[in-house]
Amino acid sequence: MAAEDLPSEFDVVILGTGLAESVVAAACSRVGQRVLHVDRRSYYAANWASFTFNALLTWIQEHQAESLSEEVQDRSSLVEEGEELIYLSGSDSASISNLQVFCYISEEAEEEEEPPNTTEEEEAGAAGEDAAKEPSETESAGSKEEETGEAAEGDEQAAQEQGEEPEADQPQPSAPPSQSEPTRKKISYTQLEKEGRRFNIDLVSKLMYSRGSLVDLLIKSNVSRYAEFKNVTRILTYRHGSVEQVPCSRADVFASRQLSVVEKRKLMRFLTSCVEETEEHQAYNGRPFLEFLREQQLGDNLQHFLLHSIAMVTEDTLTEVGLTSTRHFLRCLGRYGNTPFLFPVYGLGEIPQCFCRMSAVFGGIYCLRHSVSCLIVDKDSNRCKAVIDSRGQRISCSHFVVEDGFVGADRRVTTPTRLLSRAVLITDASVLPGDSEQQVSLVTVPPTDGRPAVNMVELSPSTMTCIPGTYLVHLTCQSVGSAYEDLSPVVTRMFCTAECQDQENRPAVLWCLYFNMADGSGVEPEGHDLPSNVYVCSGPDGALGHEHAIKQAESIFLKILPEEEFCPPAPNPEDIIYDGENTSPTSTGEEEGLTAAGGEGEEKQQEQQEEETSLQPEE
């Protein structure tokens, strides 16, 4: 909708299109609230977004460019007696930092007989410069303000050391090369750019628990009709220098060749005992989970699988927390597949957009490249009466929801900043080749040498996130240093980033991005120096699931409308009755998109009304 056409009064104004804000917008619109949803960016989903390869390069350039301080315009002429202004921040650039980009393939396609003999390292700030690199030379072109020439040399040295580290560790190959395994296709940087639109690269890496709050909400609200989902087909772990499959379901346990018959029986007996809490479990409350596992007479293999890949906790985690995580994992097994997890086709950035679409269907108005510059607050009641948008229009509202990055530093609760380390890799093969090339894998890398545990998600082309012949790999951990410092050792151990002897036995990294992202779980949702009807949403957190964002959205909705149901089911498209004959929907054509996304015949619509089939993963 054109910004000039905006009405002057809404019930709820929302700034930012992240997951929590989008869910609040959908929930409010669904119960009849007039919602204005704006974002200063040119894309939906904020730090939850998915980008094509070319759009990601543009995003990197924007974040590496020097941020120009926006001139604060005086809006005092729009303030009436008894009111005051609160100015908002014009940018949330502080949520992303330490971007580094490395390219390990040549610009043009090489001859098949000629093995790749160059590695390139370049910052995306210089993405437009396509200068050819010298063979066996690694260059660094860091474009962050604080990176000096000395730091660039340090990066160059670190990159060169990566090629030597695997020999020192001497890891075992992930899996023996199969005789039927196809020859890896040579892919050039030019091809990545040419087919860049076929990539969908997420800024945040998460999975959907099949019985988690997000899946339950998608089913309840009928928003699931706007998306398709794939099963995560296997759970892997990195141990003793190799990648192993974790047997987590009954079928996996009995089919496993890694476990002896005795270990299989012990594992099944333990998992069965974990389903319900017992007095024996309670006796270990307050004690480490690893101690509990040891006293169950479980061997090292089973302890590793249970601790790092099923409960997904650390050795210091308390027993009650570890058992709760294990039960949640077990409850999610079998609902849609052999693992507890689903992944949305086309990437996680689809989920916020699905909720935005629902909001638009029920009358929500959307404006990208549009923002709110300040709030108008009633001095007597300390409530936000109106907002002033980036074009100087005064818009009355009863409630205002804002992404935390747009709240000025002088208004925030001062808490220690927590960061996540992220890496995105485009590789030429799977970390554990198998019979199928369509695997979607979760890989857990346990903590070592004081470094945090790393969650790795490997996506195949079947998820529509990368081109055939490549895999998209996401790595995430809690930050100790920069993303490169935290994650490059893991990348070096598990992948080929430079010329090495066992290159054929490990996937080669074609291109990778490292960056740090603000951890949303470290942001206090309350206590800010803001009016009582202003609600702050935080960005993505470091957990594998979406519980934090969904709980936050529901909490905000219930503060705004405590008597209303949160995201009640939406009617099916054919059940909606419009005024007049042959009348099209009035909410900017969104219903046509709804029919295209969900209207696949009466039979499918009936199936979507049932809980177990409304979120049907693709087979």
Q: What is the mean pLDDT of residues 511-539?
A: 87
Q: What is the pTM of this model?
A: 0.80
- Does residue 180 or residue 51 have the better pLDDT? 51
First-to-last CA distance in the chain?
38
CA–CA gap between residue 385 and residue 375 (Å, rounded): 8
Residue 168 in this model has a pLDDT that exceeds 80? no
Q: In this model, does residue 1 exceed pLDDT 70?
A: no
pLDDT exceeds 80 at position 501: no
Query: Residue 420's pLDDT is what?
Result: 95
pLDDT digits (tens, 9 = 90+) for 385-410: 999 998 889 999 999 999 988 887 77
**Which SS3 state, helix, strand or coil, does residue 237 take?**
strand
Q: Which stretch, 149-158, 291-300, 455-464, has highest mean pLDDT?
A: 455-464
Q: Is 451 helix (H, G, I), strand (E, B) or coil?
A: strand
- Give the integer Cα–Cα distance in Å for 55 and 201: 9
Average pLDDT in the 46-66 region? 91
Specify the pLDDT at position 508.
92
Lowest mean pLDDT among 114-118, 238-242, 367-371, 560-564: 114-118
Max avg pLDDT among 140-154, 181-195, 197-211: 197-211
- Average of per-residue pLDDT across 456-479: 95
Q: Confidence class of residue 139 from pLDDT cuts 50, 70 and 90?
A: very low
Confidence category of residue 411, pLDDT binned at 50, 70, 90? confident
Q: Tell me which H or E stretch contains 12.
A: strand 12-15
Number of C-beta neighbours around residue 574 at 10 A: 10
Q: Which CATH superfamily is domain 7-90+344-414+521-558 in?
A: FAD/NAD(P)-binding domain (3.50.50.60)
Task: Provide the percentage of residues in the chain whose pLDDT is more than 70.
Answer: 75
Whether the predicted pLDDT of 159 surpasses 50 = no
> Contact 108/190 with Cβ under 8 angstroms?
yes
User: What's the mean per-residue pLDDT of the chain?
Assistant: 80
Distance, in Å, from the CA atom of 309 to the CA atom of 455, rounded to the nearest integer, reads 10
pLDDT at 105 over 70: yes
CA angle 220, 222, 227 (to 5 degrees): 125
Number of Cβ within 10 Å of residue 576's Cβ equals 12
Of 373, 366, 367, nearest in space to 90 by CA: 373
Q: Contact at 8 Å (CB) between 275 and 330?
A: yes
Over range 520-549, report the average pLDDT: 87
User: What is the DSSP code string of 489-526?
Assistant: HHHHHHSB-S--TTGGGSPBEEEEEEEEEE-GGGS-SS
CA atoms of 441 and 43, how far apart (whole Å): 28
Distances (CA, A) of 198 to 118, 204, 346, 347: 26, 18, 9, 12
Q: What is the distance of C-alpha 219 from the center of its chain? A: 20
Q: How many other C-beta atoms are found inside a 10 Å radius of the C-beta of residue 437?
A: 16
In angstroms, rounded to a whole number, what is the distance separating the alpha carbons of residues 421 and 117? Answer: 30
Alpha-carbon distance 233 to 364, whole Å? 37
Phi-psi region of 529 (alpha: psi -120 to 50; beta: other; left: phi over 0): beta
Per-domain boundaries in the chain: 7-90+344-414+521-558
Give the range among 163-172, 267-276, 329-338, 556-565 with minimum mean pLDDT.
163-172
Helices (H), 188-255: 189-194, 213-221, 250-255
pLDDT-wise least confident of 17-26, 42-51, 59-68, 304-313: 59-68
Write out the E strands in 428-465: 441-445, 454-459
Count CB-CB contacts under 10 A for residue 42: 11
Beta bridge partners of 395: 387
Dihedral (Cα; 214, 219, 225, 231), 10-degree rounding: 60
* DSSP 8-state code for residue 615: T
More confident residue, 529 or 61: 61
pLDDT for res 170: 41
Number of other residues whose CB lies within 10 A of the CB of residue 144 = 15
Helix, strand or coil for residue 24? helix
Which is more confident, 451 or 90?
Answer: 451
Nearest to 346 by CA among 458, 447, 230, 432: 230
CA separation for the pair 194, 575 (Å, rounded): 43
pLDDT in tens, 271-306: 888 888 888 888 888 889 988 988 888 888 888 999
How wide is the angle at C-alpha 138 spanned by C-alphas 132 and 139, nearest 5°?
Answer: 70
Cβ-based neighbours of 343, under 8 Å, separated by 6 or more: 207, 208, 229, 230, 231, 232, 440, 457, 459, 463
pLDDT band at residue 39 using 50, 70 and 90 as cut-offs? very high
